[in-house]
Amino acid sequence: MSEGPLSDLLVLDLTRALAGPHAAMMLGDLGARVIKIESPTGDDTRTWGPPFVGEGEDRESTYFLCANRNKESLTLDLKSEEDRDVLARLVERADVLMENFRPGVLDRLGFPTSRLHEINPGLVVLSITGFGHDGPEATRAGYDQIAQGEGGLMSLTGVDQPTKVGVPIADLLAGMNGAYGVLAALHERSRTGLGRVVRTSLLAGVVGVHAFQGTRWTVAGEVPGVSGAHHPSIAPYGLFSTGTAPIQIACGSEGLWRAFVAAFGLDPDDPRFATNPDRVAHRTELVAELEAIFAGNSAEHWLELLAAAGIPSGKVRSLDDVYTWDQTRSQGLLLEVEHASQGTLTLPGSPLRFDDNLHSGGRVRHEAPPTLGQHNDAIRAWLDT
């Protein structure tokens, strides 16, 4: 594996689906050695598709490929005493163990936290659950769309009815929160020599990003609803139709609004739009007036005019457009890896860069997601050294 800021760490990834695998992949991107421990039938996401690539025994789910780069795969049946012994030997050497079983499952497999820390007092354990490890609904299974709804995010998203975010955002947030919690615990371990348990959940991830929508309720007592494609507290800030394609505009300050008015010849003294609260109160009228103007020309025309006036704006890109965009590629957000059965694959990369390294993450070279059990022999041989 390539070096990186975390190249001295060994991470055991016992997680499945997306939240835990994403957390482990974040550490792998930064150079940690990540051993993904799978059941003999593999991570559930290996079967989540279409789309798939490859045929027959070589078939791979593109879903699995999104969250498991920079890992080795070891298959263990944790109901087997022999394989539980292998896990115990790995725990002795590990810095981090990640799991997203329902509360109590790891205990029943013979690895409660007390035993993990008996084997390795410095081990940092990350536990990701659906709704938290305790409380009245701790035993509920964690699935992203359910958490988006239960955590209130869907009540804020959409136009006419609640809508889920287009990616599994509850899973991804839980994974990101878990990764930074692990790094905090590792930093603490450098002083104390002791590991600890880091806990987070899909519910916590969703509630943790309510931001100003949360304080609308906790402080102001307002219950937000779906806000569609426009900001509930700033105007104009949202999606506008033009003569060809929609564009987005963000007038986030009075200075930007004044520049906008000057660029479009609007009446600066119109009392309906004099201040941001006025514009929010009259948003429907404002949007209608602006879209009447925008209907007279193309999206490209208006984006050029907005850019010249210094107004933040942009198009709505499809993913094929995003991944072929020069700016995306300039940021190292695409990786090419060599997969054991699929050959060269292009994957979305890490959002981090270090110094002037054009590669995303902290590695010089990234490794493809593993095939099921790809590293069984190598890992078992390493354990015997």
| 186 and 115 belong to one structural domain | yes
Same domain, 334 and 309: no
Domain membership flag for residue 143: yes
Same domain, 159 and 295: no
Judge whether 151 lies within some domain: yes
23 and 67 fall within a common domain: yes
CA-closest candidate to residue 76, choices 88, 67, 68 = 88
Q: What does the buried/exposed string (b/e) look like for 69-98 if buried means 16 or more CB atoms within 10 Å of the residue's CB?
A: bbbbbbbbebeeeebbebbeebbeebbbbb
pLDDT beneath 50, residues of the chain: 1
On whether both 122 and 190 belong to a single domain, the answer is: yes
Q: Any catalytic annotation for residue 230? A: no
- DSSP states of 325-342: -HHHHHTT-EEEEEETTT
* pLDDT given for residue 363 in this prediction: 86
Neighbours of 145 (CB within 10 A): 15
> Quick one: pLDDT at residue 227?
87
Whole-number pLDDT of residue 364: 81
Q: What is the pLDDT of residue 373?
A: 97
Tokens encoding 204: 């916590």
Among 285, 315, 345, the domain boundary falls at: 315
Q: What is the pLDDT of residue 362?
A: 81
Q: Which of 117, 231, 282, 301 is catalytic?
A: 231
376 Cα distance to chain centroid: 29
Query: In this structure, are 182 and 299 located in the same domain?
Result: no
H or E element at residue 13: strand 10-13
> What is d(CA 201, CA 239) in angstroms, rounded to the nearest whole number?
32
What is the reported pLDDT for 356?
66
Is 121 in the same domain as 163?
yes
Side chain identity at 133, as an amino acid letter? H
Report the number of distinct structural domains present in the chain.
2
Residues 67 and 147 in one domain: yes
Q: Are residues 306 and 189 located together in one domain of the fold?
A: no
Q: Is residue 320 part of a domain?
A: no
Instruction: Measure the N-to-C terminal CA separation of the chain; round to a whole number of Å.
Output: 18
Report which residue type is found at 316: V
The answer to whether residue 321 sits within a structural domain is no
Residue 165: HSE in the Cβ half-sphere, 13 Å Cα cutoff: 17
Q: Residues 265, 371: one domain?
A: no
Indicate the residue among 282, 315, 348 that finishes a domain: 315
Same domain, 275 and 338: no
Alpha helix positions (H), 193-318: 202-207, 211-218, 254-264, 276-281, 283-294, 299-308
pLDDT in tens, 78-134: 999 999 999 999 999 999 999 999 888 999 999 999 999 999 999 999 999 999 999
Q: Does residue 204 fall inside a structural domain?
A: yes
d(CA 271, CA 184): 51
Residues 104 and 159 in one domain: yes
Contact assessment for residue 241 and residue 291, using Cβ atoms and an 8 Å cutoff: yes
What is the C-alpha to C-alpha distance for residues 287 and 291, in angstroms, rounded to an integer? 6
In a domain, 226, yes or no: no
The CATH code of the domain that includes 59 is 3.40.50.10540
The residue among 289, 315, 341 that closes a domain is 315
Q: How far apart are CA 137 and CA 140, in angstroms?
A: 6
pTM: 0.93
Q: Is 368 a member of any domain? A: yes
Q: 3-state DSSP call for residue 314?
A: strand
Count of residues for the chain? 385
For residues 106, 109, 115 and 120, what is the CA-based torsion angle, rounded to 10 degrees?
Answer: -80
Range of the domain at 273: 247-315
Q: Are 87 and 78 in contact (CB under 8 A)?
A: yes
Specify if 60 maps to a domain. Answer: yes
Buried b (16+ CB within 10 A) or exposed e, 225-243: eeeeebbbebbbbbebebe
- pLDDT of 23 reads 98
Q: For the chain, percent helix, then strand, then coil, each to nearest 5?
A: 40, 15, 45
3-class state of residue 97 by DSSP = strand
